[in-house]
Amino acid sequence: MFTSNPFAALSGSISPAVMQAYVIVMIALVVGGTLLDMVHKKSAKYFFDYWRNAKNKAVRQVAGGEMASLAVQTAVVDVLTSGEFCNARRRIAHLMTMYGFLAYVITTVIMVFAYPTPVTPTPTIVTALWYIGALLVCVGGYWFWFFIRVDVAAEGNSPFRLVRADLFVVSLVASVTLALIWAYFQYVGATGWATAFLALYIVASTVLFGSVTWSKFAHMFYKPAAAFQKRVEQATGLRRNLPAPANNPATFGSDRRLPQNY
């Protein structure tokens, strides 16, 4: 199963051109939804206005070399290793979900566009990464949802309680879970079940990529910019009116602390 390209097998009933068009539409929805979110919330205007004001109030100026160093630190610490999470479990779950999602999305694009039919065999590494990425999303997502969420772990609410802020993680986990179930039934030849779960997979994926404006999907694009801005402010001598992390004031991390027994 881990060596099977589910999209190539699907090409017998759905044209690869249709699958490719769907992927392009989903990408367009993400781009359009993010831009709409920026316009609606005026986040870009706020960011640049805040950046300009902070630069004018800077105690010292940051040179180009130091700015590049701060950008590298942001990429390594805040993006690649999610250094803003002080809680180890939350950080691990986030990293599993993030890297799993990246592997899943990238390999999906590769399989749909480069190996859309069984005529051209899909490299094993590509199919394996698709399944591994999907499983990582499921492990990280379900772990976060049932055991790590603050309103569940610290406040005692039901893990099945849904609010608007949950739209992204719920649609993400649902989409990837349905993808794995669909791929399994297609691999074993259960055509009826495969068709049913394919339909559900398409619905969940459309919700995931089409709800960017209303979910937290767009936050993944804002967070690196905000983290970089914070590092630059610290380098220029500015201090935000926020408390330092309780565990180590000198460590760059999240200013939001969880309950002590969390």
pLDDT (tens digit per residue) in 128-170:
999 999 999 999 999 988 887 765 555 556 666 666 667 888 9
Tally the C-alpha atoms within 13 A of residue 219's C-alpha that lie toward its C-beta. Answer: 9
Phi (first) and psi of residue 79, to 5 degrees: -95, -60
Give the residue with greater pLDDT, 90 vs 40.
90
CA angle centred on 34, ends 32 and 40, rounded to 5°: 100
* Segment 75-101 mean pLDDT: 81
* Segment 196-209 mean pLDDT: 95
Q: Tokens 């999209």 label which residue?
A: 7
Question: What's the one-letter identity of residue 165?
Answer: A
* Segment 31-60 mean pLDDT: 68
With cut-offs at 50, 70 and 90, classify the pLDDT of residue 253.
very low
Structure token digits, residue 200: 């559900």
Could you read off the pLDDT of 96-120 as tens digits, one per residue?
999 999 999 999 999 999 999 999 8
Give the residue with greater pLDDT, 201 vs 236.
201
What's residue 162's pLDDT? Answer: 67
Inform me whether the pLDDT recorded for 12 exceeds 70: yes
Euclidean distance between CA atoms 76 and 72, whole angstroms: 6
Smallest CA-to-CA distance from 26 within 100, 117, 113 is with: 113
The crossing angle, in degrees rounded to 10, of helices 88-114 and 167-188 is 50
With cut-offs at 50, 70 and 90, classify the pLDDT of residue 198.
very high
CA 211 to chain centre: 13
- DSSP type of residue 84: T
The answer to which of 83-87, 153-157, 204-208 has the lowest mean pLDDT is 153-157
Please state the domain extents for the chain: 6-236
Q: Is 82 left (phi over 0), alpha (psi -120 to 50) or beta?
A: left
What's residue 2's pLDDT? Answer: 82
Euclidean distance between CA atoms 215 and 212, whole angstroms: 5
What's residue 120's pLDDT? Answer: 87
Q: For the chain, what is the mean pLDDT?
A: 79
Helices (H) and strands (E) in the chain, counts: 10, 0
Counting every residue written for the chain, the total comes to 262
What's residue 155's pLDDT? Answer: 57
What's residue 42's pLDDT? Answer: 63
The answer to which of 46-50, 125-129, 227-231 has the lowest mean pLDDT is 46-50
Euclidean distance between CA atoms 233 and 218, whole angstroms: 23
Smallest CA-to-CA distance from 220 within 135, 109, 94, 131 is with: 94
Q: Tokens 């960011």 label which residue?
A: 47
Euclidean distance between CA atoms 260 and 262, whole angstroms: 6
Q: If you write DSSP's letter for every residue of 225-254 in order, what string do you get?
A: HHHHHHHHHHHHT---SSPPPSS-TTS---
With cut-offs at 50, 70 and 90, classify the pLDDT of residue 59.
low
Residue 171, burial from CB neighbour count under 10 angstroms (0-12, 13-18, 19+): buried
Euclidean distance between CA atoms 176 and 132, whole angstroms: 11
CA 152 to chain centre: 21
Tell me the pTM: 0.75
What's residue 145's pLDDT? Answer: 85
* Segment 48-66 mean pLDDT: 67
What's residue 254's pLDDT? Answer: 39
Inform me whether the pLDDT recorded for 21 exceeds 80: yes
